[in-house]
Amino acid sequence: MITDDQVIALFADANPVPSLDLLDPVEPVDPGHLTNRSERGRDMTELKTKVPSVVAPRRGRRLVPALAAVAVAVVAIPLLVSRGGIVGDGTRSEEVATAFMEAISEYDGQAAYELFSPDGVHQEGPPVVIVGWSDFDRAVQLARTNQGCDELTPVSFPDGTGADAVECAFLVQTAAGEAMGLDSTTGTFMVYVEDGEIVRTTETWDGESVGVLDTIAFRDWIQVNHPEAYETMFENPNTPPDKPNAPPDSEAIALFERYTAEFVAELGS
């Protein structure tokens, strides 16, 4: 019987290119042919930002919130006098942000929504979409594990208003990602709180795997195994990927729920 070491050695020997000598010589590069690095090209940034435009209806968790965060960061000016993060009723802004994170992680979109001020902004749209997205997160078994919230320097916005800035970190994993063996990734919610109400939130995910590779694999699997559902799930006019503030409709969410479970079960079998 073949030993463990022999199997490993066999795999090592199965290397399709065991020696660099088997390859053609590397042609010298002509510096004159190097492109201007300032030109937009197919670099890692593009690899990262291209994905959301072709995959599942997502909230633009990478590009849009990143842009929003940059916009906030650019206009935000530290207040001269610290507000101390205490709102009128004595509730710390950090506690408001923590309550928001708990609601999000428990798929209670309604509770998260009710923490916003009437003119609050989630990502770049109305916060009511959180309700629909929470249903979607539950359907695809997207789990956020809160890592805690920290209050940062308060900020002021161009319209003269100010807010406490609270950064909440979390780990995120999806059922599909876990079934595929992907590691969870880290993410951050920036929660801006004024007088006990959330005035703005932005969400960013740090990793490349969860939310990208699992979505791609799942989408491809749907194409092969449930082509009749593909359009409703991924090309639904009500859930265009380029409109991250529109959550999937109930029909799409139901399909995501059913087929996520099937996808995970098949991977695990």
Partner 1 sequence: MKTGTRHEQAMTDDEARFVEIYRRFGKPIQAYCARRTAGSQVADAVADVFLVAWRRIDQIPVGDAALPWLYGVAYRVLSHQWRHKARIRKLDERLRGLAEVEVLTPDVLVVRSEEYRVVLAASAQLKPVDQEILRLTLWEELSHADVATVLGIEPSAVKQRAYRARQNLTDEYRKLTRDRQPPAARKGGGS
Query: Which residues bind to partner 1, rule: CB under 8 A?
Result: 2, 4, 7-8, 10-17, 20, 23-24, 26, 28-29, 31, 34-35, 37, 41-44, 47, 180-183, 207-208, 213, 216-217, 220-221, 223-225, 266-267
Nearer Cβ to partner 1 (153/223): 223
How far is CA 100 from each of CA 8, 62, 87, 155, rounded to the nearest angstrom? 49, 20, 16, 19
Beta bridge partners of 185: 172
Q: How many CB atoms lie within 10 A of CB 186?
A: 14
Nearer Cβ to partner 1 (110/223): 223
Asked whether the beta carbons of 94 and 149 are under 8 A apart, the reply is yes
CA distance between the termini of the chain: 27
Q: How many CB atoms lie within 10 A of CB 53?
A: 12
Nearer Cβ to partner 1 (19/88): 19
For residue 57, the minimal CB distance to partner 1 (Å) is 18
Question: Cα–Cα distance between 203 and 187 in angstroms, integer?
Answer: 7
Phi and psi of 207, rounded to 5°? -80, 170
Nearer Cβ to partner 1 (185/245): 185
With both helix axes pointing from N to C terminus, report the angle between 250-268 and 129-139 in degrees, rounded to the nearest 10. 20
For residue 45, the minimal CB distance to partner 1 (Å) is 9
Alpha-carbon Rg for the chain, nearest whole angstrom, is: 23
For residue 58, the minimal CB distance to partner 1 (Å) is 15
Beta bridge partners of 189: 168, 203
For residue 105, the minimal CB distance to partner 1 (Å) is 24
Nearer Cβ to partner 1 (7/77): 7
3-state helix, strand, coil in the chain (%, to 5): 45, 20, 35
Token pair listed for 112:
């998260």
For residue 177, the minimal CB distance to partner 1 (Å) is 11
For residue 15, the minimal CB distance to partner 1 (Å) is 4
Nearer Cβ to partner 1 (11/237): 11
Nearer Cβ to partner 1 (40/228): 40
For residue 26, the minimal CB distance to partner 1 (Å) is 4
How many H-runs (helices) and E-runs (strands) does the chain carry?
Answer: 10, 6
